[in-house]
Amino acid sequence: METVVIGASGYAGGELLRLIDSHPKLNFKSAIAHSKANTAIALEHPFLIGKYDQNFEEFNAQNIQTTDLVFIALPHGESAGLVSQLKPGTKIVDLGADFRLKDPDQWSKYYSGEYAGSWTYGLPEIEGNKEKISNSNQVANPGCYATAIALAFAPLIKHDVIDLNYLTVVAASGTTGAGKKPQQSILASEVMGSLSNYKLNGSHQHIPEIEQTLTQINNKDVVLSFNPILAPMPRGILANCISKIKNGISKNEIVDIFNKYYKGQPFVQVKQDANLQTSSVLNTNNCLLQISVDENTNQITVVSVIDNLIKGASGQAIQNANLMCGWDQTIGLVD
């Protein structure tokens, strides 16, 4: 299937190119990156030396009218204008935020620019989503934090075993989550050897996306307190997802709930035998979960780890594209 990546010079774009190169059913056509047009792909992404000898190209809608599949990996607010120029029926996975939210007011609160509407939400492991994705030509790829956090809470909400008025998350992410645009706060000399909070007080843009996803599970309102941390590492997310347990349910029963909810899901597993680390999922499309119960406070903590550039972005985009094309969702994502 002929494939184009728009926004290919960024971190997520580079990972998409790497995954497309090894995908048995995707045929690379072009990598579009306006600011890097005519620059060699491998110059921007050295890990692709020997795999791509092409240059980045400028966006030209006419040049991709025959393209079957388009990945868009642009900053928020930039996808909608491009989508309208693509051939009707083109399969599109948007890694940006433009089409994730159903509520225009939530878009206005957390983002800037005009609200563009909503597409099928591409988190396949949430019950019912896989079928919706498989029947869609336009899919909104979830945010990285949203993926890790929604997968941690979903089984608990489905089985009504936690207090929906008490959902708290403390999560750390690597610097690639901030993108490639130069910023003093993510310079190596600022980040190395130090942790820092950011976007506190309910201001992180993934909050409405997470609340929307979790609310739809049982059609009950969910309110999330989210405290993100910038960690001195390039990639990875570790999220501690905390709530109060209802009805005195045991940890073993909760583990069983998780195992049943994610049965048959190739990329989500519960691991109770070792402390999870971001290195546990590095360069994979996996989300690993671990459940801890504090009997003193009747609190549950679900630890969720993902690679923010793979399951949190490009790997999940490939997973969604596989489903949209009627293929096994693991193609190109497992050895």
Note the pLDDT tens digit of each residue in 296-322: 899 999 999 999 999 999 999 999 999
CB count in 10 Å sphere of residue 50: 8
User: Which residue's entry shows tokens 């996996």?
Assistant: 286
Predicted confidence band of residue 192 (pLDDT cuts 50, 70, 90): confident
**Residue type at position 327:** W
User: Which residue's entry shows tokens 């050897």?
Assistant: 193
- In this predicted structure, the answer to whether residue 184 has a pLDDT above a threshold of 70 is no
What is the b/e burial string over 11-45, where b = at least 16 CB atoms within 10 angstroms of the residue's CB? bbbbbbbbbbeebeebebbbbbbeebeeeebbebb
Task: Give the SS3 label for residue 97.
Answer: coil
Selected residue with higher pLDDT from 151 and 77: 151
CA atoms of 42 and 39, how far apart (whole Å): 9
CA atoms of 123 and 150, how far apart (whole Å): 9
241 contacts 260 by C-beta, under 8 angstroms: no
pLDDT given for residue 46 in this prediction: 96
pLDDT given for residue 229 in this prediction: 95
Helix-helix angle 144-158:251-261, to 10 degrees: 110
CATH 3.40.50.2300 assigned to 2-142+312-324: no
pLDDT given for residue 185 in this prediction: 67
Q: Looking at the DSSP assignment, which residues form a beta bridge with residue 139?
A: 93, 120
pLDDT given for residue 274 in this prediction: 85
pLDDT given for residue 248 in this prediction: 77
Q: Which CATH architecture has domain 145-308?
A: 2-Layer Sandwich (3.30)
Calculate the average pLDDT of the chain: 94
CA end-to-end distance (rounded Å), the chain: 21
Catalytic residue at 325? no
Q: Which pTM does this prediction carry?
A: 0.96
pLDDT given for residue 259 in this prediction: 97
Helix-helix angle 11-21:315-324, to 10 degrees: 50
Domain ranges of the chain: 2-142+312-324, 145-308
**Range list of H helices, the chain:** 11-21, 41-44, 79-83, 104-110, 129-134, 144-158, 188-191, 207-218, 251-261, 315-324
CA atoms of 126 and 263, how far apart (whole Å): 12
User: Which residue's entry shows tokens 């923010």?
Assistant: 308
From 144, 241, 287, 325, the catalytic residue: 144
